[in-house]
Structure 1
Amino acid sequence: MSSDDSHTANIIRGHKAALANPHVSDEAKAHSEQIIESLSGSSPKATKSSGGGGMDPHMVRVIAGHKATLTNPKTSEESKAHSRKFIAEMEGSTNEDESRQAEIHHNRVVGGFKAVLAREDTSDSAKEHAREMLKELGEEGY
């Protein structure tokens, strides 16, 4: 597989992931379907992904583990930074936008838990849970 074929396969895989992601808007999913059809010449459901673009299956799993590290709230920022660097080196990109999206997501989650604490009609057990989660997310003093 040439590097162009590998790149195209990666693009298709990324758009397939968008189709499977429940957090992606219908408009974005429609766009991803169009991209997949234009690149592969067939519908997304008919296109078969090649797993790791010819990459060793073990390395595909290693990269997946590093990606999981990025979303684990119990993982230190140092470990997350290491995983971001590893993924960028293996995938050949900087993933700065992905890092920014993770930061935005973290801030929104923290904001949600803080909002729970601010509401008067929230139960004591819900507030305690919010405090525990904020502590796990590294937000002390709540």
Structure 2
Amino acid sequence: MSSPNENRVLGGYKAALHNPRVSEAAKEHAAEVLDQHGEHVSGHDLRSSTSPQNEHDKHVLAGYKSTLSNPNTSVEAKAHAREVLHEEGVLRDDNLGDDSAHSNRVLGGYKATLKNPNVSEEAKAHARSVLESHGQRVD
């Protein structure tokens, strides 16, 4: 596969591994193709995505993802969460992100709320309090 869309094709195979409507034979084929292209496929990728264990795993990983954006979590906890998510293939190096970039976008949304004529006064009051609690000047 040397087409310019190779990443999309491989992404389709990865999606097939997690799709409960895909047969086990198709999942095995997808795993083989991914393996041939050097993509790591762990054993849990082949389980049905509706199994209770898989649902539990999804919730656990979601907890680790939420740890990354929780401002009340320690640096050590965030580092551990990044490590676990990276090992599971949920988090790649290029999307570790900068927490401050996310915070800036959130605060920008609250600032936009203050200028939006379609927003209720109650929502604007909430936006003001959030901005003030983050040390932002509110006009």
Specify the TM-score bucket, using the shorter chain as the normaliser.
Answer: 0.3 to 0.5
TM-score by length of 1: 0.44
- Larger relative contact order (CA 8 Å, sep ≥ 6): 1
Q: Larger C-alpha radius of gyration, 1 or 2? A: 2
